[in-house]
A and B are shown apart, each in its own frame.
Chain A
């Protein structure tokens, strides 16, 4: 008998809640006109309401690794899977304070890890405004922001009804780059060093939401002591900056319906 994973149930629950609370960006389904004649007619069912492109108040966090996949071995016997989970748990309330609903691919260290395809499946099912993949490393300095290394789709390309799994991120890549830029600006404002880069980090190429991988590296100033990635204050500074940046990204890329202007509509 197939077991249903807890995260799947949670994601499905969040999707239902988000459907009722969050704003749909897709145009509303056209109402079915009332019949004008009294003759009996075949009642055709209304077409299903199309799913929105994304929910503007929903964010997906993916603390990388977990279970037997420990990730990188960091100084002081820290494991990457624990650092990513700790950072996600700091980022979650910071995002909630900005009015976001947060879904995470894992909230604990499961006995069996999730495959990248399962993580991408969760992200594509919940349709969040942004997918944030969290990593940690012992090399480099500051925060590394990686967007997919796929080539963005040409504007003249004919949109396809089906997306290839290996390049599902390509149509959303311009938004992902803007998200990386927003987070980069917020981190610089918080006086944290940032590196923007492109990388193919599973499952970033397989998700259809604007996605970014945040890799936390030790803070190594030219003068002074090195701050480890496990430092709580360091993680909190990053989390606050990221939450502010995602809120700014929402304002720029998915404004609320009250501020949208329809041509010809009364102001």
Chain B
């Protein structure tokens, strides 16, 4: 026979457990609601109108060290820095396709593109600062030819998309970086020009001073 006081204690403990469980479940539901409300309150980027446009991509080839302009259709925003970033991402994505003449690893490559006014000469055109991702730089093939072709490809394509920009500088993860992958310099600024390159053969005539 179970004593009466033990039965009372048992049922009291059971009641306490149920009450605590109900309290915990209620607390979890409240926390979930609060977090959900926070997520919904986070501002999202305003949609940018992007219409498909024809752009010129300067595509590089490792076989003969050429850079060739090629037409392509891309959806581009109107804001210039977003436009530059979209064009460059589209360009570098071409190199990750199978059969690329200048193979690069796939993945995001450009973090931001900033367009600045030239502090030395305001009439000299804007300066573009391209902030490359560290992952892109770390996985880039190492070599003079491969790295310089990537830079020439970026420079030519940016020149075509934003002709008002006069020169370009490069950062990697927001910091200055000496070279792209050990060879082509990223510490200097490059003039934004047409970088179309055709194969050049050495000639006897060019040996004389």
* CB-defined A-B contacts under 8 Å, sample of 8: A116-B178, A137-B146, A140-B145, A146-B144, A178-B207, A178-B209, A197-B144, A197-B197
Could you say which of A138, A180, A195 has the most chain B C-beta atoms within 10 Å of its C-beta? A195
Taking Cβ atoms with an 8 Å cutoff, the residues of B that contact A are 62-65, 141-148, 178-179, 181-185, 187-188, 190, 197, 199-204, 206-209
Instruction: Judge whether A215 and B143 touch: CB under 8 Å.
Output: yes
* Least CB distance, B191 to chain A, in whole angstroms: 8
Q: Is A129 an interface residue, CB under 8 A from the partner?
A: no
Q: A249 vs B208: C-alpha distance in the bound complex, in angstroms?
A: 9
Interface residues of A in 149-183 (CB under 8 A from B): 149, 166, 175, 177-178, 180-183
Q: A104 vs B129: C-alpha distance in the bound complex, in angstroms?
A: 37
Which of the 9-residue segments A19-27, A65-73, A230-238, A256-264 touches chain B?
A: A65-73
* Least CB distance, B193 to chain A, in whole angstroms: 10
The interface residues of chain A lying within 8 Å CB-to-CB of B144 are: 135, 137, 144, 146, 197, 199, 201, 213, 215
* Least CB distance, A241 to chain B, in whole angstroms: 12
- A73-B142, A140-B65, A146-B148 in contact; A200/B182 too (CB < 8 A)? no
Q: Contact partner of B188 among A138, A188, A200, CB < 8 A?
A: A200
- A137-B146, A138-B143, A139-B145 in contact; A181/B63 too (CB < 8 A)? no
The interface residues of chain B lying within 8 Å CB-to-CB of A198 are: 148
A254 to B, closest residue via Cβ: B209
Size category of the A interface is: 35 or more
Q: Contact partner of A200 among B184, B199, B207, B208, CB < 8 A?
A: B184
Q: A73 vs B140: C-alpha distance in the bound complex, in angstroms?
A: 12
Q: A252 vs B205: C-alpha distance in the bound complex, in angstroms?
A: 12
Q: Contact partner of B146 among A140, A200, A248, CB < 8 A?
A: A140
- A137-B143, A144-B145, A197-B148 in contact; A202/B206 too (CB < 8 A)? no
B147 to A, closest residue via Cβ: A199
Nearest first, the 10 closest Cβ-Cβ pairs linking A and B are A184-B202, A137-B143, A72-B142, A199-B148, A200-B185, A181-B206, A215-B144, A139-B146, A195-B65, A196-B200
The interface residues of chain A lying within 8 Å CB-to-CB of B208 are: 178, 252
Q: A199 vs B145: C-alpha distance in the bound complex, in angstroms?
A: 8
The interface residues of chain B lying within 8 Å CB-to-CB of A200 are: 148, 184-185, 188, 190
* Least CB distance, B173 to chain A, in whole angstroms: 20
A202-B178, A205-B185 given; 6 more Cβ-contact pairs under 8 Å? A135-B144, A137-B145, A144-B65, A182-B202, A215-B145, A249-B207
- A140-B145, A197-B65, A197-B145 in contact; A181/B182 too (CB < 8 A)? no
Q: Is A62 an interface residue, CB under 8 A from the partner?
A: no
Q: Is A228 an interface residue, CB under 8 A from the partner?
A: no
Instruction: Judge whether A217 and B145 touch: CB under 8 Å.
Output: yes
The interface residues of chain B lying within 8 Å CB-to-CB of A122 are: none
Q: Contact partner of B141 among A139, A146, A183, A195, CB < 8 A?
A: A139
- A72-B142, A140-B65 in contact; A196/B184 too (CB < 8 A)? no
Q: A202 vs B185: C-alpha distance in the bound complex, in angstroms?
A: 6
